[in-house]
Amino acid sequence: MSSAPRIVIVGGVAGGASAAARARRLSETASIVVFERGPYVSFANCGLPYHIGGVITDRSRLLLQTPASLNARFEIDVRVQTEVIAIDPAAQVVVARNLKTGVEVREPYDALILSPGAEAIRPPVPGVELPGIFTLRNMGDMDAILEVSSKPAARKALIVGAGYIGLELAEQFRHRGMAVALVERLPHVLGVADTEMTFPLHEELRRQQVDLRLGRAVAGFTAEAEGLVASLDNGDLISCDLVVLCVGVKPEASLALQAGLALGPAGGIQVDDQMRTSQPNIYAVGDAVEVREFVSGGQALIPLAGPANRQGRIAAEVVLGRASRYKATQGTAICKVFDLSFAMTGLSEAALQRKGLAYQRIYVHPADHATYYPGAHPITLKLLFAPGDGRILGAQAVGTAGVDKRIDVIAVAQRAGLTVFDLEDLELCYAPPFGSAKDAVNMAGFVASNVVRGDMGLWEPEELQGRAGHQVLLDVRTPQEHAQGTIPGSLCVPVDQLRERLSELPLENEYLVFCQVGVRAYIAARLLTQHGYQVRNLSGGYRRYAMWKGTHTVPLACEAALQHEDGE
């Protein structure tokens, strides 16, 4: 490629804008042209729900770059409201149409970077094209939703789909004082998460007066004099003033397909680890491409802003002669749901099962900081790891505070190839307002390492359905905690009384021990094991059992015992 290459970029926002800026930083002589179909070349699409809710009050704060700013700083030729309608790979030319004037131009390229993004899915149900039914992918969508929701008569919003955007919008419409109904076809919110990890979110949504309809799908929409009516698959009717469809996205790959680029099994553009497509000198980045999933190594669509930015940067570097490579996507993400946050990295348990990968799991419920310092809140952390070597496969966490920090640490550990044994040894910040001497990540490492080493056997709530006669459920919490809620059929022997009451526990039984969150039960299991008993612990304790049942989590009044199980 010449020292002054002609680089054409299709699409702005995260991937395209990052590629353009990086290309200029590497080459002052390159000719760089960006075609963007919409009116904005670079905007914060993750911030759209928060402007709708009024948390981000200044709309202009969402505009990260404009054509003028990109030209002034980087001398990049940005052409907004111009759609690339064809690619001729043999001639290395794109055909672009100005959407305001209809004028078409042919733009030659030495390197072409595609960043077309993904389009929101509109389910094929009757009435889905009625006025007042929206999707949310860009500034125009946001403005249209805001125009309707700002009217005094707009009092009820319906959100279809409880993924990240659906949950964020539910919070923001409630922030506006609107009544909100949230319909999700799955039995739980956040389809990327494991079922039991979402029940705290269900409780929080209901606490915030969101009408949560799980396991339901919209069968159709009708317009009435006072607004819209959605009919559900069970016959229920929901009246509303506006609807936002948040049922997912699909890659915008039609232009790539027309140009003869290979697509992957999920319909995204196929790329290698240098973002090259199947056609010479054509690269693709962002939500439209299939990437290598970090844990399994398989191909996947993982539409996230962080990876899109890195891919754009890498494509520009490769075009300009650097040997950069994209090193797979972990799917690290977080979502705020009113006063709770949910975050994850790597694969979920459900995904591991679908892929047929062997795994083990543990749960811990430590506080976000030292419990003797005011304002401590519990975090529920699930860690998935490989049997034998303890390789980190995934993690999920939900809580009021500190969730992002813990998942970020585990994501870095996973990326670096560390194991659960390394989590034991991580040296993390500690002062009472910020953490504990044994951080939540350390605690997860301790428990998982005990399992891998064989120091502790685990039992799972699913085993209760076929429990054998010689298996005894042993609750080692206090009688007061036991009385507030326990697993039916359990025997209560507090851990501090266990040694003096061993005579009450026949040796021929197997004891399935549990406490509030697993720590006291681990102590009890070690004690009993050394006295010759067969014993296994319930990871995550009674709190885990309650989440598995899906009825409720442990009442906050019980958290006092939880907080003091792991002293410093």
Q: How far apart are CA 413 and CA 296, in angstroms?
A: 16
Length of the chain: 568
User: Three-state SS for 406?
Assistant: helix
Find tokens 């910020």 and name the residue: 434
Q: How far apart are CA 378 and CA 361, in angstroms?
A: 19
**Helix 440-453 × helix 403-415 angle, to 10°:** 50
Would you give the DSSP letter of residue 531?
Answer: T
Q: Which two tokens stand for residue 383?
A: 């860690």
**Helix 13-26 × helix 67-74 angle, to 10°:** 20
**Strands 133-134 and 242-245, how do they pair?**
parallel
1 contacts 316 by C-beta, under 8 angstroms? no
Would you give the DSSP letter of residue 378?
Answer: B
**Which of 210, 110, 218, 119 is CA-nearest to residue 169?**
210
Q: Which two tokens stand for residue 312?
A: 């754009």
Single-letter amino acid code for the residue at 536:
R
250 class by beta-carbon count within 10 Å (0-12 exposed, 13-18 middle, 19+ buried):
middle
- Measured distance between the N- and C-terminal CA atoms of the chain, rounded to whole angstroms: 61
User: Three-state SS for 294?
Assistant: coil
- At residue 462's C-alpha, the angle toward residues 457 and 463, to 5°, is 60
Q: Which of 46, 240, 246, 335 is catalytic?
A: 46
Q: Which two tokens stand for residue 229?
A: 């009516």
The verdict on whether 46 is a catalytic residue reads yes
User: Three-state SS for 371?
Assistant: coil
Q: How far apart are CA 324 and CA 316, in angstroms?
A: 9
Count Cβ atoms below 10 Å from residue 447 Cβ, excluding itself: 26
Q: How far apart are CA 16 and CA 41, in angstroms?
A: 9
DSSP letters along 428-485, please? ----TTT--SS-HHHHHHHHHHHHHHTS--EE-GGGGGG--TTEEEEE-S-HHHHHH-
Would you give the DSSP letter of residue 58?
Answer: -
411 contacts 330 by C-beta, under 8 angstroms? yes
Q: Across the chain, which distance is largest between two alpha carbons, in Å?
A: 90
Alpha helix positions (H), 197-264 = 199-207, 254-258
Q: How far apart are CA 422 and CA 173, in angstroms?
A: 43
Catalytic residues: 46
